[in-house]
Structures are given as C-alpha cells and as structure tokens.
Structure 1
Amino acid sequence: MWGGRRQRPGPSGVEELRARRREREAALRRARRQEQLLSKRLLREDSAAEHGEGEAEPAPDPLSEDEALELLRGLQRGSEDRRSCLGRLRRALRHRESQQRFVRLDGSIRTLVGLFTGSLGELQLGAARCLHELSCGDPPVAEACLPFTPYLLTYLAGHSLELTELCLYTLGNLVVESQAVRRQLLLQGIIPVLASCSQSPHEAVLEGVGYVLSQLLQAKEAPMEIIPLVLSSALPQQMLRRLQGGLGAGAGAAVEFAWCLHYITCSHTANRELLALGALPALTELLLHLATDIPPEAPEGLELLVSPVLRSLSSLLAEPAGAEGQLQDHRLLVALFLLLQSFHQQQPFVVQEGLWLLNNLTAEEPFFCSALLCLDLLPALLQLLPCSQMASLLVLTVLCNVAGQGPAYCQQLHQQQALPLLLPTLLLPDPSLVGQCLELLHLLFLHWPEAAEDFVRQGGHQALERHQSSPELQERAGALLGMLGTPLAACSP
C-alpha cells in the first residue's frame, strides 16, 4: 500500500509496488489465455477436383443399415467394382450417422485395412480417402480406426505424395479426440516418423507434419508426455530452420511450425531448451524479415503467422534465461511497431500480442526502454491507447516499465507529452485502467516532480479527487493527492 503523504517510498514501498505489478501482470496473462486451436481438416476438395467432381456436389443421404451392408459386401467380393464402391462409401461417410453404421458392421474396418495395405494403388488411395472421412468422426469412430495407425505411419515414408499427405492429415484428425489414439501413436513412434518427414522437400508434406504436431502439442498430456519426446528429436531444429526462411520457404508450413513453437513455449516446460537451440534469434530474424517485406496493407492470413511468433517471443523473454540472453537490437522495436501499424485496424488482437512482447522487452530492461524513447516511438505507442481495454492496459504497463527506470526516463516521458493523454484515462469507469494509470503517475511524480506541477496545471488534481470515493482506488488516489501537496502550494496564487 502507498503511504499517506510520503513522496519517497522506502525499500518496503518499492517492493510492494513491484509485487503489485507482478500480480497485475499475472492477471493479465490469465485473461490473455484463449481456447486451444484444435481442429479437424479434410482434403475432400483435392480428391473431388481430381475425380472431376464439383466442390458443391451435395452429399447423398445417410446410409441405411442395408445400404451400408451392401457397400461392405461389394468391397469384400473382390469384384472390379470395388473402386466405385469406395467412391460411394467415401461420399456417404460425410454423414456422422453413416460413419457410425459402417464401423459397427462386422469386418468393416478389417476390409478397409485390407484394401489400404493392398498392392493396388487406386484401391489403396480409395481406402485412404474413406479412412480420412472416418478420422473426422466422433471419438468412438476415431477409436475404431486404431488398427490403421501402424500402416498410416509406415506409408509416410512412401513415394506417393498424395498418399503421404492423406496419411498425415488423417493422423492429425485422429489424435484430436482420443487420448488412447495418442498414446498408441506415441508407442508406435510417431515423433521420430514426423522428424523424418520434416526433412521432406515438399511443402505439402511439411505443412501436414506441422498440422499433426500442432494437434499433438495441444493435448492435455503434452507437457509431460509429448514435449519431452519432441525435444529429444530433430523436430525443434527443423522447425526453427524452416521459420528462418520466412514465407519464402512456404507460408503453410511456416504458420504450422510457428504455432507448434507457441504451444511448446506456453507450456513453460521446455523454454530453456529452446533458448539453447537459438529460438530467440531465429524468431527475431523472422519478425524482422516479416516487418521489412510487409506491404502497406497486411495481406490476409499473415496474422496467422505473426501472432504465434509474437507469442513465442513473449514467452521466451519471460524466462530468466531469456532475459539474460535476449538480443539488444533496436531493430526489433522498429519491426514490432511496423507490424502494429499494419495490423491495428483490421486485426486488433495482433496489437495485444505485440504489446505483450513490448512489455516483456521493456520489463526491467534499460536498453529497450531507452530505445523506445530515443527512436521517437512513444507517440506511436500512445496512439494504441484507444484500441481496446486490454491494449490500453498493456500500453500503460509498458509506460510503467519505462518510468520505473528512473528520473531521466520520467523526464523524457514528461517532455514527450505523455501527461495530456493520461488525463482522459483517469476519467474512465474501468478500475483496472485507472489503477494502472495511477501507478504510472506515482512513478512520474516520484522521479520527476516537475511532472506533478504540470499535472496540477492541467486539472489533474480534480481528476484524482473523483476517485476518493472508490473502494478500489481511494487509497492510491489519496496518496497521489498527498504527493501533489507541495507542487499544488507552489502553483497557487
């Protein structure tokens, strides 16, 4: 708590300020957490185009019991009509009811496994497409596909690009709903197989590898059971290598691998290992590359790459080892503000991610606090205040980081006209924003008393008095009014 009229807090007061800031940042991190981006993907459009089928072709009605049995018998008879039966079955399996009826039939999965592992390429692809449809089903349907998993992993090393891609996305779909499937795949060696596939020269295969890995890394058991296996493989090095190539190496794979790194870093179980592998400079170079090449209007979809890169950098810098080894490169600040300028209109959530990174860069780091002021980036930062409630809170937190560096920094904040933009914040009804603004004012008045005099001249005294009746803010507002006692007397006639 702040003392009544003290203008210079002792050591305990400073520690309380730091503790309050740490608590507030922890609350901000909790508020920032979003739902995981688990999803299932279908390659249906690709196979439809290959067979001359229209993308808008309506799916047939769900299979009845008799129709499902008839299709199964057609596949089992060994007739030359099996290719046609597989096509009809694939279209029918777009319905959940048809999936459930088919997998309940005795011998249905065994028959598909036989066709999938056979020597006839067309039938193998047809069975793979049927399995791909089943992989998007409910958990019981996914678990019915367990007999396929060793063959799916085996065929990832095959020569058919289409079959490899189908196997990857089928595996990615299967791991979503069932922990039993994930455990079986881990025992069957999915991580080493993915590491081998990550060396493929084909963009489609790399994107599929990233998709499977991102699904695995979002599992609840990932921190303890999956991430250690990933770190012991060559996958982290491969991901960082692909990201260093930027969009030139393929946008799809870069996006998937960036999200993979985010899921690893946000688990807080492997960040030291990633730092040792050079993740910080690799991601920094990627951010610099993106900011340099970005057009005046950010292309659609670029935020899907920028967002996980910003998040991963924020998480790595939050580690003590990350703060020690971070690159003191002012270009990173310039790149960050270029990206914020490009995204703040259409993709405001990217602004929040960028501000989180800026907060972690400036927290107890004089280099970036000084660079923010010397590069004249403060006006651009202050322009982000009205973007959103979270953005405003983060901007104020960054300003607190700067002001906490001492008198010289507070003098520059004062000279660059930060006060006039803070006064409207004091009139807002949001206690969290006002509270953060009060903390910033406390640091400014503490280190640069001239700011307090200017604050009084601009009517700030009355703005503080508004909060003396607020249970959440009255003590801090009263402490600030106490600090204003001497400047107020000096300014009175």
Structure 2
Amino acid sequence: MWRRRKVGCKSVQGLDELRKRRREYETALRKARREQQLISKRLLRDEPDDDEHFQDLQCLSEDQIDHIIKDLRHGPAERLESLITLRRYLQSNDVRLMFIRVEGSMQVLIGLFTCSFAEVQMEAARCLHELSQSDDPSVSKACLPATSYLLTYLSGNNPDFTELCLYTLGNIIVEGDATRNQLLLQGLIPALSLCAQSPHTAVLEALGYALSQLLQSKEASEKIIPLVLESGLVQEIFRLLRLDSEERVGAAVEFAWCLHYIVCSQVNNTLLISQGIVPKLSLLLSDLSAIVSKSTALDMELLICPLVRCVGNLLAEVDSMGNRLQIHDGRLLAALFVFMRRYRAEHPFLLPECLWALNNLTAEDPVVSSAVLHYNLLPALLELLFHSTEVTLLVLTVLCNIADLGPAYSQHLRQKNILPCVVRALGGTDVRVTHRSLEIMVILFKNCPDIVEEFISLFGVQILEPYKDHLELQQQVQTIWNRCQS
C-alpha cells in the first residue's frame, strides 16, 4: 500500500503511479476474500521500494545498527535522520531480526515513538510499522510493549498518524491469541469504536482493515464478537457502509467484510435481526443496485459480494424466527437481479452469491416467488441455467422452490416454457444437476398431470433410460417412469 504525503510539481506522475499500485494491491487483497477469509499484513509506505539509496538492504551489520541506535539518543534533528535511515533498512527482515537483538533497541524506539517531537514520533511509528510486517514471532513479541501506546494514539488529531497506528495494530493482531488478549485488556474495542467517528476516509479504511483482522481470529466467536456486539460497533459499521463518494468504496468494502465475519459467526444473529439488519441490508443493496445501473464504479462488486453473503446467511434465520415480512418489500429481490445482469460477464463470481440469497428468499415463500413470476424475472433466471454447474444447481433449486408451492405456480412455470430447459438439464453429465432436475420433474408431474405428454414429446423417456439403475437417482426416475407408462 502506497501513499506520499507531499507532492511537488515534479512528483505528480510518481504519485499517480503510487496510487495506481496501491489500488491494484488493495483490489487484489479484496478479490482474494471472494472465496475465503483473508488474514494478511498491510504495508503503508511513503516511498517506492526501489529507492536508489537503499537498493541493497542486506548489507547492514549489527555494529552499524548499534551505531544508528546510539545516534537516536542525540538531538531531534539527528534522531530524525537516523530514524529515516533505520526505517528504510527495516524493510529487510534480516535487519529487523538484527535490530531487536541489539540490547535496548526497542526501548529506544518506543521512547522516540512517545516523545513530544511530532516528526520524530511519526518516523518512529513508521519504524514500528516496518517491524510489524515481519512474520517472525520474535519480532512480533518485541513489538508488544508498543501496543498500549498505539491504542492511546488512536484518539489523536493527526489522521496520518492514526492511520499508521491502525495498520500497525492490524498487522500485530494476527500474531496470536496472547497478543489479541493483551490488546483486548488494553481497550482495543473501545479504541476502535472511537476511530469510527473519524471524518477521514483513510482512517476509516485502516479501521476496517484492523477490525477485519480481529474478527477473523480463531477465538473471535467466543471472545471478540460478543464484545463488538456490546460496543455498538455494528451500528457504526452500517453507518459507514453507506457511500457518499467513490473515495469511500475502499473503506466500505472493509466494513462489509467485517459485517460478514460477524454474521457468519452466528454468535447472536437473532439480536441483529431484531435490530432490523435484513431490511437495512435490503435498502443498502437496493441503493447499490441503482449505482451500478448508472456507473462502473471501481471495486463495487467487491462491496456487493460480502453484503449479499450476509443476506444469504441471515434469511434462513429470519425464516426460523417467523419474520418474513422483513423481506417482502421487493427491493432486495430487484437488487439481486440487477447485480446478476450487471456482473454476469465481467464478475461471474457474484452469480452464486446472488442465487444463494434468492434461494433463501423463495424457499416456502409464496410472496417472493409470486413476485419472481409477476415481474417476469423467470426468463432472466433461465438464461443462467447452463452458465456453470454451481449456477445451474442454484437456478434449479430456485425453480424447485417455486414449483413446490403448488399447482398454480407449477402451471405458471410450465407456461414460461420451463420444461425444455429442465429436460436438457436432465441429460447433463453432473449427477447433482440430474438429481435436482428430477426433483423438479417429480413436482411438475404431481402438480400438472397433463405435462406428461409434453415430456414424452421432448424425448424425456429416452433421456431417463441411462439412469434407471443409478442408485442415487433410481427412486425419482422410477416415479417419473411410472407416470409416463400410466
């Protein structure tokens, strides 16, 4: 991640390049979250790695490090220059290890981090940030005495300094449950809640990163998420998810994943549902669908993905609580179809996310299923039927949900020419697709007895022939076979 504080007229081109590199790096990290939770370390630097004066970072000896540490004890000007030198060399993990082995090195650095000279303090913070990049446990352990100060400084007035402290904390958080326990005891959650009030986008994005690191820890469900729920941070997350500019997309993405980790933990989704999380998400997704219909905002799909996952996970629990009225205003249904149409070609990973939510929307719900039919959304659904195996299975599941609601729904599906599509799916190579197709056929045969002739005319009987002795499909095949013979 790259950022440069000062830009002269000769460095504008370089700044644009750094911004581009930072955007590409962050986008790559967010995309990795599509398939799995992501714990990673972030790097905030002011200069490119290829600084011409520090291309060889392996040449520093312990004696030289000792000399730098002695220089750090001098006046503010000498300290600042020595800190800049140290920070650049700390880009090397070998130098990080040598640095912490020098007696008193961390005490000196933390002393400068807590001094009253702003420039010295900032440069010391950058050195700590470089140390936090290390995956070596000894380096992480050496950083622990700084955590209480990092938390204290989150309430400061310098947004650049706060941002740096947040990213450093986010890197340290992943170093083990003992480290996280120490941070929690030192007041990590209240400190993060305070940062949520910041008006600065960069601070909010750093907050989202640090919080997402915390929420992905192995003990999050037991120790951390209950504290987050009690702190009121979830309400802050909702507030920060609303976009008022394209610059806020990065921060919104981070907070969307934070919400996803909270929801998928199932610690207290009943509480979240009672607080109206589902209609709030429906409204948010509806607003996002309006945005993506009019523009191609960068990374918007990476914001939509975790939010749709949240909805998909919550809908089953909404159903179990008997509170389906929360989803009957139609906005969520419309938004899902907008996303599928908009991102089908460019970002197909969103299709299964939207279809899973649609599956949970339509399951045993005549209101939503009627809306799918009334607003003529079925053709858009059938267009996806053979997109991929995963998508095909989900489309067939949604069709099953609708057909299973009774004869009127099955007849409507039949009138929309669903049968040729299902018969085609029957002949596929994936047994799961065949199984789901057979489920639909059994329902259609039950609800629309006269559909048998149409099935026979489409060579359905011949397609069934190879599956007569298939153990997993035998019962359903026999049911359909008997209908065709009667």
Task: Tell me if both proteins adopt one fold, taking TM over 0.5 as the criterion.
Answer: yes
Question: In 2, Cα distance between the equivalents of 1:456 and 1:200?
Answer: 67
Cα shift at 1:462: 0.8
Q: Is the 8 A contact 1:59 1:94 kept in 2?
A: no
Question: In 2, Cα distance between the equivalents of 1:322 and 1:390?
Answer: 29
Question: In 2, Cα distance between the equivalents of 1:389 and 1:58?
Answer: 51
Alpha-carbon distance change, 79 to 406 in structure 1, aligned in 2, over 3 angstroms: closer
Cα shift at 1:55: 7.5
Q: Is the 8 A contact 1:352 1:391 kept in 2?
A: yes
Q: How does 1:117-136 map to 2 (within 5 A)?
A: 117-136=114-133
Question: Which residue in the other structure is 2:56 paired with?
Answer: 60
SS class of match (1:326): helix
Q: How does 1:193-342 map to 2 (within 5 A)?
A: 193-245=191-243, 250-295=248-293, 298-319=296-317, 320-321=320-321, 323-342=323-342
Question: In 2, Cα distance between the equivalents of 1:86 and 1:482?
Answer: 83
Cα shift at 1:76: 3.3
Alpha-carbon distance change, 272 to 322 in structure 1, aligned in 2, over 3 angstroms: farther
Question: Which residue in the other structure is 2:95 paired with?
Answer: 98
Q: Is the 8 A contact 1:393 1:433 kept in 2?
A: yes
Report the AA paired with residue 305 of structure 2. S
* Pair 1:35 & 2:18 matched: no
Q: Is the 8 A contact 2:34 2:305 kept in 1?
A: no
Question: In 2, Cα distance between the equivalents of 1:56 and 1:416?
Answer: 67
SS class of match (1:163): helix
1:195-242 deviation line (CA, Å, top 9, x unaligned): 111112221222221111111110110011000100111211111122
Alpha-carbon distance change, 117 to 379 in structure 1, aligned in 2, over 3 angstroms: same
Cα shift at 1:281: 1.6
Q: Is the 8 A contact 2:76 2:120 kept in 1?
A: no
Question: Which residue in the other structure is 2:6 paired with?
Answer: none
Alpha-carbon distance change, 318 to 428 in structure 1, aligned in 2, over 3 angstroms: same
CA RMSD of aligned residues (A): 2.1
Question: Which residue in the other structure is 1:481 paired with?
Answer: 481
Q: Which one is further off, 295-304 or 427-436?
A: 295-304
Question: In 2, Cα distance between the equivalents of 1:169 and 1:458?
Answer: 61
Equivalent residues, number: 450
SS class of match (1:219): coil
Report the AA paired with residue 68 of structure 1. I
Question: Which residue in the other structure is 1:4 paired with?
Answer: none
Question: In 1, Cα distance between the equivalents of 2:251 and 2:181?
Answer: 25
Match of 2:189 among 188, 191, 194: 191
Cα shift at 1:318: 1.6
Report the AA paired with residue 64 of structure 1. S
Q: Which one is further off, 429-438 or 329-338?
A: 329-338
Report the AA paired with residue 117 of structure 1. T
Question: Which residue in the other structure is 2:462 paired with?
Answer: 462
TM-score (normalised: structure 1): 0.87
Question: Which residue in the other structure is 2:442 paired with?
Answer: 442
Q: Is the 8 A contact 1:392 1:433 kept in 2?
A: yes
Cα shift at 1:448: 1.2
Alpha-carbon distance change, 59 to 272 in structure 1, aligned in 2, over 3 angstroms: farther
Cα shift at 1:284: 0.8
Report the AA paired with residue 211 of structure 1. Y
Question: 5+ unaligned residues in a row in structure 2: which ranges?
Answer: 1-32
Q: Is the 8 A contact 1:298 1:342 kept in 2?
A: no
Q: Which one is further off, 296-305 or 113-122?
A: 296-305
Question: In 2, Cα distance between the equivalents of 1:33 and 1:304?
Answer: 8
Question: Which residue in the other structure is 1:397 paired with?
Answer: 397
Question: Which residue in the other structure is 2:108 paired with?
Answer: 111
Cα shift at 1:343: 0.8
Question: Which residue in the other structure is 2:22 paired with?
Answer: none
